Chains A and B, each alone.
Chain A
Amino acid sequence: AQKITQTQPGMFVQEKEAVTLDCTYDTSDPSYGLFWYKQPSSGEMIFLIYQGSYDQQNATEGRYSLNFQKARKSANLVISASQLGDSAMYFCAMRVSATGTASKLTFGTGTRLQVTL
């Protein structure tokens, strides 16, 4: 079975500072993908960034980067230059995909990020 653990229920960060949101995962499958989603109070889930288990480099998407440490089974999200609009719930999710095709996501419990002035 797959499991995602997010140990930070809530985080505060000052505007323009960087913040790291932790995510650890557990799977016995060698082929998997890790995703981060943002969920504002309005409810929609917004895809942020993806890291594949065989990717050699850490993923980056604008102000988002993923600190992928495969041996530690961690995939932490780093948000640089935080903005007030970054205040939201952040979910780490995993897809186990031995064949490389799409399948269901397993989510963590999320981290609520609050950006302050």
Chain B
Amino acid sequence: DTGVSQDPRHKITKRGQNVTFRCDPISEHNRLYWYRQTLGQGPEFLTYFQNEAQLEKSRLLSDRFSAERPKGSFSTLEIQRTEQGDSAMYLCASSDLTGMSNQPQHFGDGTRLSIL
């Protein structure tokens, strides 16, 4: 069990540029989640996948955001035309779908995005 892996750890970019983050979940986990965490706040849900299907998207996920999980394994989160307000920590989590409600979500170390 190697844990949830996120890449890159840090991303600094100019306003208006596009950025893409990658998340590799725990290998046997079929659910994958993206959250955003701003300074002083708890994580806020963005979207989640079950295998390759994107099952729910938050209203926080504007048209500039797109997430994919093409083969049901790793996922990418792309932000187009970045804005200052996109500066945040982007967290990925995965969980096992066993029908047991006590299964926790396991989080990666996050990608910290800074918009100049």
- Give the nearest-CB partner of B106 in chain A: A47
How far, in angstroms, from A97 to B103 measured CA to CA in the complex?
A: 12
How far, in angstroms, from A42 to B107 measured CA to CA in the complex?
A: 13
How far, in angstroms, from A32 to B84 measured CA to CA in the complex?
A: 35
How far, in angstroms, from A105 to B43 measured CA to CA in the complex?
A: 9
Contact present for B43 and A100 (CB under 8 Å): no
Least Cβ distance of A52 to chain B in Å? 6
Say yes or no for A107: interface residue by CB 8 A criterion: yes
Q: Which of B40, B42, B96, B100 has a CB less than 8 Å from the CB of A93? A: B42
How far, in angstroms, from A50 to B56 measured CA to CA in the complex?
A: 24
What does the 1/0 interface line of B82-98 toward A look like (CB < 8 Å)? 00000001010101110
How far, in angstroms, from A37 to B105 measured CA to CA in the complex?
A: 10
Say yes or no for B65: interface residue by CB 8 A criterion: no
